[in-house]
């Protein structure tokens, strides 16, 4: 069977499953509202200070916020896969004559879709609070975010496939999530950080995405941060995808 047909079937299955799951729908649509209610009011009263950009304060925080959504949108999805492995669903799919890569990418694309829906909701909700959208920049940022979710989801699924236990995945996922987020400077720009911290940040792929996001959100495509983010994320996406594809081909699920 051809790859795209199989991908469509596996993607469709996960989308149907998500639409039917009230908890998933509430979390997907509710999370942006939560950010808006609990976070945006704080920014309104933030005075302009050293290190903060001259533009709207929201324009500095939004890229970081979007990167968290993209990163967390993929990072924890492996937990759901453990249950599917246990109930034998993945094994059943793996004996069909469909591409094993499609079995992985169907769910990954669902995760990317859910993340994009969240990103759009949050963007639209932030506009009344003074967020100035540059649509071309936002579109480019969404591409970067889709790559982040693709990477974190593929990583999480493959981890689940290899470890087959929530208890084994949890410490790994927890252990990498916060250091990566903090080093990315998702709340405050890393330019405020001391030298050693700035050096450490350069080993964090998320850092490049957040930096690029701060340029893109104002439509500033000329900043080197933009091409640097793609230069870091494209190879990373290729590496994680290859690792995932290899594992799905060989896995004992």
Partner 1 sequence: MEPILEVKKLRKSYLSKGKPVEAVKGIDLEIRRGEIFGFLGPNGAGKTTTLRMLSSLLVPDGGEARIAGYDLLRQPEKVRTRIGYVSQTGGSDRMATARENLYLQARLYGMAGKSARERTAAMIMAFDLDEIADRKVVTYSGGQHRRLDVALGMVHKPELLFLDEPTTGLDPQNRSRLWKEVWRLRDEGVTVFLTTHYMDEADMLSDRVAIMDRGEIVAEGTPSGLKKRIEEDTIILGLEKNGAVTEQAKQFLTGLPFVREAVQNRDKLLLMVRDGETRLPQILRLLDQHQIGLKTITLSQPTLDDVFMKETGHALHDAEKDLNR
User: In the set 15, 89, 163, 170, which binds partner 1 (CB under 8 A)?
Assistant: 89
Please report how close the Cβ of residue 163 comes to partner 1 at its closest, in angstroms.
15
Please report how close the Cβ of residue 4 comes to partner 1 at its closest, in angstroms.
13
Please report how close the Cβ of residue 243 comes to partner 1 at its closest, in angstroms.
18
The DSSP annotation for the chain comes to --HHHHHHHHHHHHHHHHHH-HHHHHHHHHHHHHHHHHHHHHHHTPPP-TTS-SS-HHHHHHHHHHHHHHHHHHHTTHHHHHHHHHTTHHHHHHTSSS-HHHHHHHHHHHHHHHHHHHHHHHHHHHGGGTPPP-HHHHHHHHHHHHHHHHHHHHHHHHHHHHH--HHHHHHHHHHHHHHHHHHTTSSS-GGGS-HHHHHHHTT-HHHHHHHHHHHHTTT-TTSHHHHHHHHHHHHHHHHHHHHHHHHHHH---
User: In the set 3, 4, 19, 21, which binds partner 1 (CB under 8 A)?
Assistant: 21
252 counts as binding partner 1 under rule CB under 8 A: yes
User: In the set 30, 88, 175, 235, which binds partner 1 (CB under 8 A)?
Assistant: 88
Report 25-84 residues binding partner 1 (CB under 8 A): none
* Interface positions with partner 1 (CB under 8 A): 1, 6, 9, 13, 16-17, 20-21, 86-98, 250, 252-253
């Amino acid at each position: 069977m051809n790859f795209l047909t199989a991908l469509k079937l596996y993607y469709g299955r996960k989308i149907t499953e998500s639409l039917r799951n009230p908890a998933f729908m509430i979390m997907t649509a509710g999370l942006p509202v939560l950010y808006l209610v609990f976070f945006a009011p704080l920014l309104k009263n933030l005075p302009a200070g050293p290190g903060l950009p001259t533009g709207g304060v929201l324009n500095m925080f939004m890229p970081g916020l979007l990167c968290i959504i993209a990163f967390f949108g993929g990072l924890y999805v492996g937990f759901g896969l453990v249950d599917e492995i246990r109930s034998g669903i993945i094994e059943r799919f793996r004996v069909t004559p469909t591409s094993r890569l499609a079995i992985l990418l169907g769910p990954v694309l669902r995760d990317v879709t859910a993340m994009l829906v969240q990103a759009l909701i949050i963007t639209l909700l932030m506009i009344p609070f003074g967020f100035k959208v540059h649509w071309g920049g936002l579109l480019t940022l969404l591409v970067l975010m889709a790559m982040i979710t693709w990477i974190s989801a593929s990583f999480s699924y493959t981890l689940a496939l290899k470890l087959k236990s929530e208890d084994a995945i949890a410490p790994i996922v927890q252990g990498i999530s916060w250091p990566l987020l903090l080093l990315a400077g998702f709340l405050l720009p890393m330019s405020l950080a001391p030298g050693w911290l700035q050096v450490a940040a350069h080993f964090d792929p998320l850092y490049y995405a957040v930096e690029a996001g701060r340029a893109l959100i104002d439509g500033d495509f000329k900043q080197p941060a933009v091409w640097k983010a793609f230069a870091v994320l494209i190879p990373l996406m290729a590496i994680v995808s290859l690792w995932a594809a290899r594992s799905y081909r060989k896995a004992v699920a």
